[in-house]
Structures are given as structure tokens and as C-alpha cells.
Chains A and B, each alone.
Chain A
Amino acid sequence: MMASSYNAKDEDGHLPGSVGSGGPGAVKSKKPDNTAFKQQRLPAWQPILTAGTVLPAFFMIGLIFIPIGIGLLVTSNNIKEFEIDYTGVDMSSPCFSCSQNYSWNSTSACTCSVPFTLDQPFESNVFMYYGLSNFYQNHRRYVKSRDDSQLNGDKSSLLNPSKECEPYRTSDKKSIAPCGAIANSLFNDTLELFYNHPNGSKITIHLEKTGIAWWTDKHVKFRNPGGNNNNLSSVFRDTSKPVNWHKPVYELDPSDPDNNGFVNEDFIVWMRTAALPTFRKLYRIIQKKKDNMTPTLPPGNYSLEVTYNYPVRSFDGRKRMILSTISWMGGKNPFLGIAYITVGSVCFFLGVVLLIIHHKYGNRNNSADIPN
């Protein structure tokens, strides 16, 4: 198409020679350059994949993948994971009453205690997650309902949040900080863990609440407005708290100024929207014991004390608490190991099949194995 339009000029016949140069239509009465590129003779590597060249690759893949897969599967199986649903759907469940008489406006917190038993010791650092099901954090309306510049400490966005935050943008004619549906629905159950020592004493397990969010999120992406102004309440003076929150953003963690306001890690973790409707989010870290002799969580009876604030029954959701150790590959997930073993075996099997075919039918192909 392009070439033809160039050539139309030649047909005008006005200035032969001066027009029409530039397109392929114009041929100078010169011999074409004898360059490798123009003559399509660039030196080229011409791989020919034949059974002979690929067979070793198949065996190689098989030989590498199967051990990796086994390693992954073993690692995954070594990860201790404990999961408990505390939604309180069943009558028998300790949180049943809390889940029933829920109301956002209730001032008195409903608490319930869920006992559980760990059969095996949890070594090293133990990570505590909360999990939600049937919660569409990846719904489009939800995902976009935030204002990243407000969260980044931008003053003007603080007082005039983005339109995307609607209908969680203003309340009582004041802008909401942090605005948007995500922030508004911040997970606000409080989970506490107690070890019921066989001797009858109830030992509080210390839960570390920092180190749960991405470093870059905490230090760059999320910032409190007003710079180093430690008096957050004055910074947020002209804003209103999200409608479903019990306390304003500057009271998320009054004890630690580095974990308060927008840079509160629970908040940051929540703001990273999950990929799937069933998800887990890191809640607390249980540091391993200093002495290294006793496991972080020895086997035994525990109780999970829940301050039940977060309603999920209305959309048929579930809440879980997950305790897990972590390996180099992350949390427990047998998928990778299985996948690697499967692919490795398939490759190996294919290698064998190809080898048979190759030997039975393709002797004459041997000469061709060398790519030329």
C-alpha cells in the first residue's frame, strides 16, 4: 500500500527523476548494493531441531525437574500450617453469638475465644494470617476505590480526595482520610493468641505487628501527610474517619508513631488488594525464641481470642486464622512441587518414547542431527 502510493507520483509524469525517489518504486540505474543484508544473505544460525538434538534436552529437563519437584514437595510438606475458621456459622462455634448480633454501631466489642490444639511444634518464625473467603477484594469497583496520592501524603488529596473514592469520599462534608472502599472496609478484628500451658497457666504469645508489609510500601508508597509532624491528629483535623471505622486513622496504633496513620502496616497490607476472592493476609509474626532450643509454638492447647468486629455473614463469607511457618519458597503450597514432578516425568517419558521412535524408524535421520 505504501509503495503504491509512492509510485502514483511517477505516473503524474511531471518530473521524471526528481520525484518518486524514496520509495521502492524508484530504482536508480545503479546496480543494487551487494551487501549481505540487502541480498538476504546475512550470516545466520539455522538451528534444526530434530529428535536427536531435542532428546537430550528432554532427558535433561526430566533429570533436573524431578529432583526440583521432589525438593519443592518436601519443602512444602515440611511447612507447618494450621488453619481455623472462626466465622461462627455453626451454633456450636464459640463466635456464633458474635456473628449473629453484629452491628457496626455497637460500642461494646464482642469477643469470643476459639480453642485449638497444635499437634506438632512450629519451629522458627511463625506467621499469623487472617483469611477471608468470598470477599471480592478484586472487584473493579473496589480495586479502584482508593487515592494513592492521598496515601502518599499529598496535602491537597487529603482534603480533596479523588473521585474514584466515591461513595466513600466525603462524610459530613468532610473528606474521608483514607478515602475509598478499600480503606473503609479495613479488616478490624483483633486476634490474640494464648498458649494454654499444661500447667494451667495461660501465656500470651507476643505478636509482632511490624514487618508484615512490603518495605517499599511502608517507606515510600505510603506516607503520612505533614512530613515529620508527629501530631497526626492535627494533620488529620479537617478530615473525617471512614464511615465503618471505629477510630480515626491516626489512632490505628497510637503506641508506635512509625506504625500509625497511613503507614500502619495492618492498613498497608489491607490496601494491597488480593488477587482472588479467597485470600489470606499477613497479620502478625511470632518471632522465634532466642534460645533456639524450644520451638516457637510448642505442641499443645492454644486459644485464639477474637475481638469480633468484622461482619462477613452478609455476603456468605468466612474468616480464618492461619498459623504457618515459611520456607524459602514462601508458604505451604504443594502445587509447584507436583507441577515440577509431573512436567519432569512427562519430559522423561516423552524422551523415552521419542528415543524408541528414533531408533525404530529414524536411523537414517542420524546424519541430520548436526545442525548445519
Chain B
Amino acid sequence: MLRRRLNRLCGGDEERVDSRTIYVGHRPCPDTEAFIPSKFCDNRIVSSKYTVWNFLPKNLFEQFRRIANFYFLIIFLVQVIVDTPTSPVTSGLPLFFVITVTAIKQGYEDWLRHKADKEVNKYPVTVLEDGRSVKKESEKIKVGDVVEVVEDETFPCDLILLQSSREDGTCFVTTASLDGESNHKTHYTVPDIEKDLQTLTSAIECEQPQPDLYKFVGRMHIYKLEQEPVVRSLGPENLLLKGATLKNTKKIYGVSVYTGMETKMALNYQGKSQKRSAVEKSINAFLLVYLSILISKAVVCTTLKYVWQSKEGQDEPWYNQKTQKEKDTNMYLKMFTDFLSFMVLFNFIIPVSMYVTVEMQKFLGSFFITWDKDFFDPEIQEGALVNTSDLNEELGQVEYVFTDKTGTLTQNNMEFIECCIDGFQYRYRDTQSEVDGFTVTDGPVNKLQQKAGWEKEELFLRALCLCHTVQVKEAGSEVLVDQVDGIDGLLSQPEEERGFIASSPDEIALVKGAMKYGFTFLGLESKSMKIKNRQNDIEEYKLLHVLNFDPVRRRMSVIVQTKSGETLLFCKGADSSIFPRVRPEEVDRIRMHVERNATEGYRTLCVAYKQLSAEEYAMADTGLREARLALQDREEKLMAMYNQVEMGMSLIGATAVEDRLQEEAAETMEALQGAGMKVWVLTGDKMETAKSTCYACRLFQRGTELLELTVRTLEDEKLNRDQKLHELLQEYHNKAVKDAPPVKAGVTRSWSTANQDYGFIIDGATLSLLMNPPHDADASQYKSLFLQICQNCTAVLCCRMAPLQKAQIVKMVKNSQGSPITLSIGDGANDVSMILEAHVGIGIKGKEGRQAVRNSDYAIPKLKHLKKLLLAHGHLYYVRIAHLVQYFFYKNLCFILPQFLYQFFCGYSQQPLYDAAYLTMYNICFTSMPILAYSLLEQHISIEILLHNAALYREIANNAMLRWRPFLYWTVLGIFQGLMFFFGVRFLFSNPALQDNGQVFGNWSYGTIVFTVLVFTVTLKLALDTRHWTWINHFVIWGSLAFYVFFSFFWGGIIWPFLKQQRLYFVFANVLSSVSAWLVIIILILLSLLPEILLVVLRKPRGHHSQQLSEDSSTDTNRWLRSLLSPTRI
């Protein structure tokens, strides 16, 4: 918008403005002839949705956009406009209640947001203006202002770092509140900036605001007096983001480039896309059924009304004349209003309160996850986190689990295990010696054996010490620095305590590993890296360039200059990315080690180096600088440059780092598979490592036949890759799908069956070939083959995946036939895409920052918690909500059915059977609390048994409790009971003289008896279903019934002045004074519940069921009973 306005200011300039120009301190620059102070937005953050003025209309509008609310509004309006049987209050009151509660809640939340906004916007900041520091409110910062920030303050807007109090022109920043990563990140000042910011004249050209936190491209023109302007490139390392906090730095100055709603933080603020649960879809389907029931009821009644009226004398007998107005009304209009009246009369069949109750259940229910102390991890002092309560029940429906490997299955707690230098293996172990195929490993390297040459060793260890981006933590830095500078001293002590900070734990493990072998990295100071070698000498290297790691290249390099002036490039990375770049003859010696390490489950990295001649370096240097300065396509240019530099290296060795399995990883995976879930491991790691992790997690067992579809299996002399892919797919398909015993997919989850287990392995390259084959026609065929194979495999391993491919796989499975419910679990930024893609996204509060947690629906501290989250919480939530939904439809069906039947006896006149108070209160007061309590507290199977017996999870698979069959059962039950209520009382009223003094009952007594039976039956039905009676259940169930009785007495006990008609005056008391009424109430309740009791008895008791399962689940009785009950299992 702003850009558009800017364009308009520029006078119809159609060209897109891709960059903005900022004048530091608003000082015009010599080059620009006219200084146009461009308009940027102010630094006000507005996260609130409403203002005082627009709250009511806007909020109401938002609320009535929900289809249910809108429906109830329509009903309400019909009641107001048309002469309807029930007063508008009956539907208006609940609607008003719902709307008000929601509005209050949203208003409160918005008030909190306002408060937070205000706090941020009014925060005092210091701005340099004309040489003076001026205190300002944060919201008044303009683009181009030079802002001062002191330690531990958050940056008020996006700043370009101009000056830091640290000598080396760096500052440390933590972005914990932005992406959750709590490590300190180093940011750099723009080089060549004068010390006096007052005289600094410069213009910054940078891209327009964009939300990517880690991308920034800009250029700074610095004008110096009588000199050529200097141009410096600006990258993310120069940009301090709003929301981040300054650490370890006394103060900095920066010029604001993006302000207010254009800061990256604000641009990143967006509601996550709403995930809808399967239960909600079921609700909507049921809703349609009930809506059609409602409409057909209204149509039937309207039709019959006119048929009935056509008989002479029925429509308008002498005792019941119409008003003049009614007589004048057009017949068709009358029909229509009659139809609407019937709709209104029966509209309670779709209850407003269900939505309220479902929301309450979800909201309150989610607390149990946060409260669960089993999810509490003492290490990080945190429990589980619920980001959305919409998906609680989805946790009980998971069919596919997609898990990340590193940090999720494994601890991401790296330990340097061994290395291989020039083909010789070194394993750090103090005592044990190990005989190996080609080398004897024995103790630390410095024992100097006749292995790799001394020089090679040193080179390798130096490479480990230099090739990284680790920082030394400066806790109590003074002492440490002193000791480091004082030459030999007591060196061992501070070394042990030295803390490292790095973005990846591998690097720390490597640096620590090198330390064990005698090479210690002391830190990076003003572009020079200091390491202490085995002779305790300090070596200094000048850091020239860092070629950053990224997941596509899968390697990183540094270019350093030794004291002696040599320029060296060290590179470390995955074997696949290093091997092609080194001399082939070196590869073979190392490859065996790498592969063996990988099969043992270690993470391997290869280390290579290259000596750069002066010319080579000069070329690389200029190339890199140019690429870094490029405003457009900087990434691509850099990538190309990196590739160019990292060529022709020589391989020195490889490292093996162990990543231990998470606690109970194997048990958790086993439980998930036992619960019928298919576990797919999606990892960026290499196949061998991932495979060994899978074996360790028992995802692959010894008997599992592995079907590999990787780059290696695709290598074939005769066929090209595409043909081979086709061939292999066919072969595996035959093996896994066609030859498998004919069982319906999805129904059997071949876990404990005797058939052959298959495991499937695919890698990223093959996957992309599979997804985008050269011939487009094959794509869908390949995909379906692939999916079919995967569905018949117990576990699938996808290795070498890019983050986007992970999401692609999730999406493919999600959209496959039967649309199974998927769950993604991961801990790192690379898992975010799949977490967002899956139905349920789970974040692990791991070590790789908190991006996964932020984007997840649920976050847990450890993988092992997944078991309880799914098997216990998910199962219970599903059962609870499914029961809640079914029960709601049921109780409203048998509520409204008698009212419908009554129309046949009152001349289709829309006469309500129940009093308006009962109509209104039924769903709000009399029957709402027990089901809410049930849906929060029910444990039809205790948590221990659920955890112990994973197979129980399969009982509710495929939305078992909300399928059409159980729905039909509940509907039939509702109809049966509704018929019972109505006709039971009907037969009783064949003689309405029911009191022992001969007095008679009228229509309101009729309705009250039916209603009493209804309330009791419906509540007791729930009581029958309750398997877990806590005192709360007792309280609400018996309390509701008592409340109903109390209310009825109270309501009928007083002549209410505000009521037009005293319909219920002493009706309830009179009903209860009649013995016959008591007897009919009792027998009708019993009769209505009889089928239910019978079913409960015949149904296999749950508690047992689980106990028996471990022994032997198919005895005669059980089979017999189950066959009897299978159609009605709910």
C-alpha cells in the first residue's frame, strides 16, 4: 500500500520500486540533487484488531460470519418478524449469551493486545538528533533515525548496525523472542564508518520490507568529504531485528530502516492457517443430516396442516376464529410463514449450545495437556505447550507419523566418537583398544603412532579447529582472557569450563573433539582465530572468508591466512558433497570408514582442504565480495562462487559424531506402531546413518525386508535412471502389494501378523525424480505405486530430504486415498514446513531453536512424551468429543421429536409441547453440565491401561465413533426414546383425570411430564455411559437433576409479573401430586434406558477387554458378544 502511495507521489511511475533509499540521520547526500524525504510508515505496532468504536460492529460481523451463528440469527429474526409459536427469547437468549461471551473474550484479548501494543509503542528510546540524544517514544521513530540501544534492551525497529561499543565492531544479539533461538548471534557494523555519527553522510539502499527473518540485501553509500563515495554491501549480519535483544554489548547505534508494521517481526506476525479436525467435519456432516430432518419435518407438518385444514370446519371452527389480519393474509404467504414457524418450533434440534460446549470442552480440555506432569522435563524446566486446542481429538486419530531424525529420534547431543585421518582410524578411548580391519586404535592421537603422518594429523585437527562458526561463551570473560593471554599458565582449567555457542551441535562436538586431541579453539577476535596447539603454543589465523553452511550445499568452508602468509581453505561437509570435489584417489581410503561409521549410526563429516595461491585467492576474494554486494540474486551468485572456490580440494579425513537416541525412542516408536500408526522417518541425513537409527529405534527389525529406492539402486548399466525407477517401483509393488495376503489396506495394520514386514527407503533425489519424472504422464502412476508400496510397509525412511520435500511427502500422504490423518513431529527449523503441512504438528522443545515449537500445534519437551500424548490424551480426547457430539445430537432429537409428534394432535398449529422456559433452559442448564463434565473427565479406560496397551488406539481409528453407523445408532436411540416419551404420556392422557381428587391435567401438564421424563432419561443415559465417576460427575449429574426439579417448582411457584401467560403455574407440583404421573415417569425412564442397559451388559466390558487382550482376546463369549454388538459399538 505504501509502495503504491509512493508510486503515486512519484507521478504515475509504473515501475515497481524494488528498493528504498534511506538517508542516515535525514541528512541529504551530495549525489542526490533533491532531497525528498520519502514517506514511510511510523514505528507504531498495531496488533489489535478492534478499536473502541468499531468493536461492536466489527466483532458482530466476524461472529455472524460463522455459519452456525448466522443460522441462529436467522431463526431469531424469523421469530421476531413472523408470528411463531415460541417467543424470540427462547432462541435469542442462548444466542445472545454465546455472542456476548465470545465478544467479551475477544474484547479482553484485544484489550491485552492494546496494552501490549501501547507498552511497546510508548517505550522510551534514545534517538540522536542534531548531535543530541533525545528521548522519544518508540512509536515516533522514523525511518532514517539513528537510534541508541543499550545492553539488554530490545531493538525498537529494524536497524542497520552503525557503531558498537565493542572494539571489533560487533555486537551480540539474541533472537529468543523472534525465533526462539537463545544463542547469541554476532552482528557486524558496516565497515568504514566514521566514528562520529554526526558527520556521517550516507544513503542506504535496501530492498522493500519482506518477512524472511534471515534475508536482507542492501547497499550503503558512504560519502566522505572530498572522496569518492564508498559502497558497502549490507546483509542480514548488519541488520538488527525489532524484537531481538542486545547482549554482551554496552551500547550500539543503528539507523532504522524498517519501522512499525514494516519490520520483519510485524511482517512475520500472521495467524496460522486454521486446521480443522476430522471431528469437526463429522459434526458438519451430521449437522446437514439434522438440517434435512428439520426441513423435512417442517415440510411434512406444513403439508399436513393444509390437508387437515381443507376439511370443512377444521380450519376455523366457531370457537377458534381467526383475526381479521390472518384472514386477509395471502394463502401462499401464510404457507410460507407456517413453514418458517415449524422451522422455529423444531429448530432446537440443532442446538446453539453444542458449539459452545464443544468449544469449552476443547479449551478447557487442553489444559490437561499443559498440566500433565509427565510432560514436564526437568532439564529445560518446561512442560508441554498447547498452541491450539482445536486439534485435541485429532491426536487420537493419527494414522501416519512423520518424524524428523536429528533432535527428534536422536538427542541432538553430539559427541565426538572417532575420526579418520588419511585412512587411519583414531578413536578416543582411554583404556580399550580395538582391533579393526586396517588400523589399531589405541588412545589419543598424541601418542604418536605409526599411522598417518604427523603433519596430516596436525592439519586435520587444525581444520577441525578452524572450520566452523563456533563462538566462545564469554562468561566471566575477564579472567578467561587473562589466562589465555598469559602463556602457558594453568591452561587445563579454563579449557574444561570453556563454553561454546554454535548454531549446530555438530560443530561444538567437533571443536570439543579437537580439544581432546590437543587443539583448542580460543576464540575469534577481530577477524583472527586463535588456537592453541599441542605444544601449548598459540597459533593465530586471519579469517578471510566464511562460506556459510546451508542445507543445499551441505558443507561449509573457511578461508584463513596463516602467520606465514599461506592462504588455506578448509572445508567440511557431508561425504556426498565433499567426495566429488576432491581427488578421487583419496576418496576410497576414507569412504570405507565413512560408510562403516554411518552404519553404526554416527553422523559423519568429511574434511578437506586446499591451499590457495595468491592469484587464486585474489580471484576468490573479489568474486565473493562482488557476489556479496549484489543486490539482485545475491544468493545464486554466492552459491556459484562458493562452488567455484570449493573445487579441487584434497581430502584429509572424516569425523564420526554420535547422536544418541532420545530417551525411550525405541519404546515410543514401538508403541506407535503397535497403535497402528505408520511411522515415516524424514531426515536430511544420509541413508546409512538414518537406517541405523531406524534399526536402533526398532522401526526396522531384523526380519524386515528393506526395499530401497535410492540413487545407488537406480544405478544400472543398461537402463537409465528413469527406466530403472519404473522397473524397481513395479518390482517392489509386486512384492509388497500384490503378493501380500489380500487384506484391505487400512483395516489391517500388519503389525503382529505373521506376514513379511517391509521397510521402504527412498532418498531425496529419487523422490524428486519420482515426483517429477521426465514424462509427465508417469507422475500420477509413480505416485500411486509409491503410495501403495508405502502403505504396505511398516516403516518408511526418507533420507536426504530437503525441508520442502518433507512437506511434499506429508502432503502427498495427506491427500492420498482415504485422506489419513497425519502427524509431523520435529524440532528444527527444517521441520517447520512439514509441521505446518500435517494435520497435527508437534514441536519438540529441542536444541535447534524454537521455530518448530512456534509453528507447532502442540509442543512437548521429549519424543517419549509423544506416546502419552497420543495413546492416552489423544485417545481420551477423541472418545470424549465424539461422545459429546453424538450425545448432543441424540438429546436434541429426543427433545424435539415429541414436539413434532404433538403437531399431529393439535391440528398442526405449531403449538409447542413444552413451556418456553423449558425450551430455553433444556440445553443451557438442565442437560449441559453433565456432558461437559463427562467430556472433560471421562476415562473409559484408565490412562495406565491405555499406555500399556497400544493396540487400544486402533479401536478408535478411522473416526470410529463418529462414523455413520454409530451416528445411526444414536439417532435410532433418540427416535426410540422420543416415541416412548410422547406415546407413553399420550396413552396415560387417554384419561386425563390423573389426580386422586378427580381433577384433570391439561396440555402443559402433558408437556411437563414428557419433559421430566426427557431430562431424567437423557441425564441417566449419560450416567450409564460414564465409566469414570469422580465427585464432579456425581455433583453435576445429580445436581442437574436436582436443579431441574428445584427450578420447576420455583418456576411454577410464583405468578411471574413479566410473563404474559402463567402457563406453568403449579403445574409441576400438581404433576408430582399424582401417583400416576410418578409411575409413568418411572416406567418410561426405565423403558427408554432398557435397550441401553442391555447393550452395556452385552458389550464386552472395556476394563476387561484390555486385560484380556494381553492374554487371549478371542474366547467364545467374547466373539459371540462382539458379533452381537458390532453394529452398535459406540
Q: A-side interface residues toward B, CB under 8 Å? A: 1-16, 18-19, 24-25, 27, 29-34, 38-40, 42-51, 54, 57, 61, 65, 68, 72, 125, 127, 129, 135-149, 152, 162, 164, 166-168, 181, 184-185, 211-214, 216-217, 220-221, 244, 269, 272-277, 279-282, 285, 311, 314-316, 324, 326-333, 335-336, 339-340, 343, 346-347, 350, 354, 361-362, 364-365, 368, 372
Contacts and interface: CB of A to CB of B under 8 A. Distances in A.
B48 to A, nearest CB: 10
B910 A45 contact: no
Interface stretch (B67-75, B759-767, B831-839, B1071-1079): B1071-1079
B1030 interface: yes
Contact of B909 (A43, A140, A332): A140
B1065 A280 contact: no
Nearest to B902: A138
A29 B320 contact: no
B1115 A39 contact: no
A24 B370 contact: yes
Interface string B1070-1109: 1000111001100100110010011011100111100000
B993 A282 contact: yes
A13 B177 contact: yes
B1057 to A, nearest CB: 8
A274 B905 CA distance: 11
A346 B1094 CA distance: 12
Nearest to A346: B1090
Contacts of B1080: 336, 339
A347 to B, nearest CB: 7
A145 B905 CA distance: 19
29 contacts: A2-B389, A3-B386, A13-B243, A13-B269, A14-B47, A14-B117, A24-B363, A24-B369, A25-B386, A30-B381, A31-B373, A31-B376, A31-B381, A32-B375, A40-B939, A54-B1097, A68-B1079, A138-B907, A141-B909, A147-B1060, A167-B322, A221-B1066, A272-B1002, A273-B1004, A274-B992, A280-B992, A282-B993, A335-B988, A364-B1117
Given A49-B1093, A144-B1061, A164-B1060, A136 B243 contact: no
Interface string B319-331: 1111110000000
B359 A2 contact: yes
Contact of A276 (B106, B318, B366, B989): B989
- Determine which residue in B318, B370, B992, B1096 has the highest number of CB atoms from chain A within 10 A of its CB, and name it: B992
Contact of A127 (B993, B1065, B1116, B1121): B993
Nearest to A151: B1062
B94 to A, nearest CB: 19
A48 B905 contact: no
A333 B988 contact: yes
B313 A315 contact: yes
Contacts of A339: 984, 987, 1080, 1083, 1087
Contacts of A72: 1079
A127 B1097 contact: no
Nearest to A5: B109
A19 B112 contact: yes
Contact of B998 (A31, A141, A167, A285): A285
A343 to B, nearest CB: 6
B1052 to A, nearest CB: 9
A143 B373 contact: no
Contact of B1030 (A43, A48, A347): A43
B1117 A42 contact: no
B385 interface: yes
B381 A138 contact: no
Contacts of A18: 116, 119
A274 B1002 contact: yes
B1109 to A, nearest CB: 14
Nearest to B1077: A330
Contact of A48 (B176, B388, B1101): B1101
Contact of B317 (A40, A144, A213, A315): A315
A23 B363 CA distance: 9
Contact of B997 (A50, A61, A146, A326): A326
B939 A185 contact: no
A269 to B, nearest CB: 8
A137 B319 CA distance: 9
A136 B1028 contact: no
Contact of B1087 (A16, A38, A139, A343): A343
- Determine which residue in A27, A148, A282, A354 has the highest number of CB atoms from chain B within 10 A of its CB, and name it: A27
Given A136-B317, A140-B85, A343-B1087, 18 more contacts: A3-B388, A4-B387, A4-B389, A7-B387, A16-B177, A24-B366, A43-B1031, A49-B1093, A137-B1003, A140-B909, A142-B320, A152-B1055, A244-B319, A315-B317, A326-B997, A335-B987, A339-B984, A343-B1090
A339 B1083 CA distance: 8
Given A9-B116, A12-B113, A34 B373 contact: yes
Closest A-B pairs by Cβ, 5 of them = A185-B319, A331-B993, A275-B1006, A3-B389, A127-B998
Interface in B425-481: none
A72 to B, nearest CB: 7
B271 interface: yes
A29 B381 contact: yes
Contact of B905 (A1, A129, A138, A282): A138
B991 A214 contact: no
B262 to A, nearest CB: 15
Interface string B922-933: 000000000000
Nearest to B1073: A214
B61 interface: no
A329 B907 contact: no
B1001 interface: yes
A36 to B, nearest CB: 9
B991 A333 contact: yes
B1036 to A, nearest CB: 13
B130 interface: no
Nearest to A144: B1061
Contacts of B382: 27, 29
A319 B36 CA distance: 99
A14 B1117 contact: no
A32 B383 CA distance: 7
Contacts of A68: 1079
A27 B850 CA distance: 14
A343 B1027 contact: no
Nearest to A311: B318
Nearest to A8: B271
A221 B1065 contact: yes
B371 A39 contact: yes
B1076 A47 contact: no
Nearest to A19: B116
Given A139-B909, A331-B998, A15 B991 contact: no
Contact of B176 (A16, A54, A211): A16
Interface in B361-398: 362-363, 366-373, 375-376, 378, 381-390
A257 B784 CA distance: 92
A216 B993 contact: no
Given A11-B854, A42-B1032, A181-B320, A50 B1097 contact: yes
Interface string B1011-1029: 0000000000000100111
A32 B386 CA distance: 14
Contacts of A61: 1086
A9 B1079 contact: no
A220 to B, nearest CB: 7
Contact of B992 (A5, A11, A46, A279): A279
Contacts of B271: 8
Given A12-B47, A16-B176, A43-B1030, A354 B996 contact: no
Contacts of A148: 1059-1062
A340 B178 CA distance: 71
A71 B1029 CA distance: 37
Given A32-B373, A330-B1074, A335-B987, A1 B117 contact: no
Contacts of B268: 11
